[in-house]
């Protein structure tokens, strides 16, 4: 089926001309929902502290509210059956509006509400934009191009992180920064609006992709609920460990750097370097053919990130933290992309439910990380213990992936 022709007749939308258009639309979805809606908070927090609008503990509460909202959005995706393209559209609009809301006068309680809702919107975009993009790319014969979509997170981190430092140098207020990023988000959403439309029935469903085929690894094991098949549950468990494993480094990397190298000019460069690593890692996934074993790739990605997290604890110098930033960033969205590809292969057209479950467990891991780090730092004065636990969790995730590969196509 020619998707371009089919989509042209759906709701009068502009035709999708090929996999590049679909993948770039997915990239923009994540750049807005995660790069702006979620991660813009990281470089803007120092500006909020400088403005006196929040304290450090209040900033931590805002971050926790966002993670909790992400979990709520994931759980909503489990019970709310809706069309993916339209849901992603609405969630993107909500992300832009909530980003702008942070630029308006308000109280801590109100800002926590905005951040929680933004987290919910981020989860809905992750679930439904991924399902939409994977379905289209599969129908176009380019399922591995999903990695290009996941470049969006890194692009968004660089897009917000680098200008934020310039904003601070020009003495912008945090409110001006929030408003600026909301404007950027609005332009990006408008650019893909006509592309992000529902696929015709049957697009993206091929032998081995859906439950009941028996062509894929465990594709038919879950019966009417493929997300409960052993391989799907293993994928979900490992994915939750990934959420826990990366979040401590990603949340506290600037703090770790400042503790290790007080006064260094390099401490503000690790976050953008992390974003560059995220982008490169996701781009590399697109170079890997669909014939490659997903479980083997996942095991390698988990181990790479485990080494990066361990380096943040063991080698706290400019070179060590730079290498840690790259090694934690490279597998970040690459791991997500390969996991989503395996989820689509296992559950086919019903992959949004499996992706929702995976995203919820991932969110639980994210929520658990920062409190553990805060507790261990209070007791030991160092991030070493929490980082070691995180590296261990990622290693367990790799072991799960190796085990699934060793058990063969049926388990």
Please report, for the domain that includes residue 279, its CATH number: 1.20.1250.20
4-8, 254-258, 259-263: lowest mean pLDDT where? Answer: 4-8
> Does residue 170 share a domain with residue 67?
yes
> Does residue 291 share a domain with residue 397?
yes
Question: Has residue 265 been placed in a domain?
Answer: yes
Q: What is the pLDDT of residue 9?
A: 43
**Residue 238 pLDDT grade (very low, low, confident, very high; cuts 50, 70, 90):** very high
Closest CA to 37 of 153, 166, 209: 153
| Rounded average pLDDT over 40-50 | 82
Contacts of 375 (CB under 8 A, 6+ apart): none
Record the tokens describing residue 252, joined without a space: 């506290």
Residue bearing the bigger pLDDT, 87 or 285? 87
Question: Has residue 210 been placed in a domain?
Answer: no
Domain-terminating residue out of 199, 216, 242: 199
Q: What is the pLDDT of residue 289?
A: 57
Question: Has residue 255 been placed in a domain?
Answer: yes
47-61, 316-330, 375-389: lowest mean pLDDT where? Answer: 47-61
> Does residue 272 share a domain with residue 130?
no
**Average model confidence (pLDDT) across the chain:** 82
> Does residue 62 share a domain with residue 135?
yes
Buried-exposed string 162-173: b where 16+ CB fall within 10 A, e elsewhere: ebbbebbeeebb
Question: Has residue 250 been placed in a domain?
Answer: yes
Q: What is the pLDDT of residue 32?
A: 96
* Whole-number Cα distances in Å, 62 to 114, 115, 119, 130, 194: 9, 6, 11, 26, 33
| Rounded average pLDDT over 85-95 | 93
Q: What is the pLDDT of residue 8?
A: 44
Domain-terminating residue out of 152, 184, 199: 199
Using N-to-C axis directions, what is the helix angle for 351-380 and 56-79, rounded to 10°?
Answer: 160
22-36, 178-192, 302-316, 333-347: lowest mean pLDDT where? Answer: 333-347
> Does residue 231 share a domain with residue 182?
no
Encode pLDDT of 112-154 as tens digits: 999 999 999 998 998 889 888 888 888 888 877 777 888 898 8
Question: Has residue 11 been placed in a domain?
Answer: no
Question: Has residue 9 been placed in a domain?
Answer: no
> What SS3 state is found at 103?
coil
Decide: 245 and 305 in contact? Cβ < 8 Å: yes
Encode pLDDT of 283-337 as tens digits: 887 776 556 788 999 999 999 999 999 999 888 888 999 999 999 999 998 898 8
> Does residue 270 share a domain with residue 178?
no
Q: What is the pLDDT of residue 302?
A: 96
Closest CA to 392 of 310, 296, 297: 310
Note down the domain range covering 323. Answer: 226-410
Question: Has residue 10 been placed in a domain?
Answer: no
Pick the most confident of 27-31, 158-162, 404-408: 27-31
**Residue 12 pLDDT grade (very low, low, confident, very high; cuts 50, 70, 90):** very low
Q: What is the pLDDT of residue 202?
A: 52
> Does residue 186 share a domain with residue 62?
yes
> Does residue 257 share a domain with residue 125?
no
Which pTM does this prediction carry? Answer: 0.76
**Residue 60 pLDDT grade (very low, low, confident, very high; cuts 50, 70, 90):** confident
> Does residue 178 share a domain with residue 283?
no
> Does residue 267 share a domain with residue 131?
no
Q: How many domains does one find in the chain?
A: 2
Closest CA to 344 of 290, 264, 269: 290
> Does residue 237 share a domain with residue 193?
no
Question: Has residue 215 been placed in a domain?
Answer: no
> Does residue 150 share a domain with residue 195?
yes
């Amino acid at each position: 089926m020619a998707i371009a022709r089919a989509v042209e007749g759906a709701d009068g939308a502009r035709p999708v001309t090929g996999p590049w258009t679909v993948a770039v639309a997915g990239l923009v979805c994540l750049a807005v929902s995660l790069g702006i809606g979620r991660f813009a908070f990281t470089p803007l927090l120092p500006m909020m502290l400088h403005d006196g609008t929040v304290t450090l503990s209040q900033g931590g509460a805002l971050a926790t509210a966002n993670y909790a909202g992400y979990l709520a959005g994931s759980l909503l995706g489990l019970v709310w059956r809706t069309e993916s393209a339209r849901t992603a559209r609405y969630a993107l609009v909500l992300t832009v509006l909530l980003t702008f809301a942070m630029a308006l006068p308000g109280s801590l309680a109100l800002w926590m509400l905005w951040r929680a809702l933004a987290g919910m919107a981020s989860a809905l975009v992750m679930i439904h934009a991924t399902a939409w993009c994977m379905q289209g790319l599969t129908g176009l014969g380019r399922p591995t191009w999903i990695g290009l979509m996941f470049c969006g997170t890194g692009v968004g981190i660089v897009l917000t992180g680098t200008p934020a430092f310039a904003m601070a140098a020009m003495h912008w207020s945090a409110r001006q920064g929030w408003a600026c990023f909301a404007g950027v988000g609005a332009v990006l959403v408008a650019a893909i609006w006509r592309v992000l439309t529902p696929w015709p029935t049957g697009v993206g469903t091929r032998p081995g992709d859906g439950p009941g085929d028996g062509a894929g690894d465990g594709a038919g094991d879950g019966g009417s609920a493929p997300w409960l098949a052993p391989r799907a549950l293993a994928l979900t468990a490992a994915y939750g460990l990934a959420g826990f494993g990366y979040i401590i480094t990603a949340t506290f990397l600037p703090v770790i750097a400042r503790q290790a190298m007080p006064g260094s000019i390099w401490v503000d460069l690790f976050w953008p370097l992390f974003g560059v690593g995220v982008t490169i890692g996701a781009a590399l996934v697109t170079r890997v053919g669909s014939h490659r074993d997903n479980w083997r790739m996942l095991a390698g990605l988990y181990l790479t990130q485990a080494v990066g997290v361990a380096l943040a604890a063991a080698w706290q110098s400019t070179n060590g933290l730079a290498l840690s930033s790259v090694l934690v960033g490279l597998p970040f969205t690459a791991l997500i992309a390969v996991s989503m590809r395996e989820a689509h292969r296992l559950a086919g057209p019903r992959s949004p439910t499996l992706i929702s479950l995976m995203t919820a467990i991932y969110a639980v891991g994210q929520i658990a990380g920062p409190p553990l780090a805060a507790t261990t730092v209070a007791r030991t004065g160092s991030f070493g213990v929490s980082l070691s636990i995180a590296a261990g969790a990622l290693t367990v995730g790799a072991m799960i992936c190796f085990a699934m590969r060793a058990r063969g196509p049926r388990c």
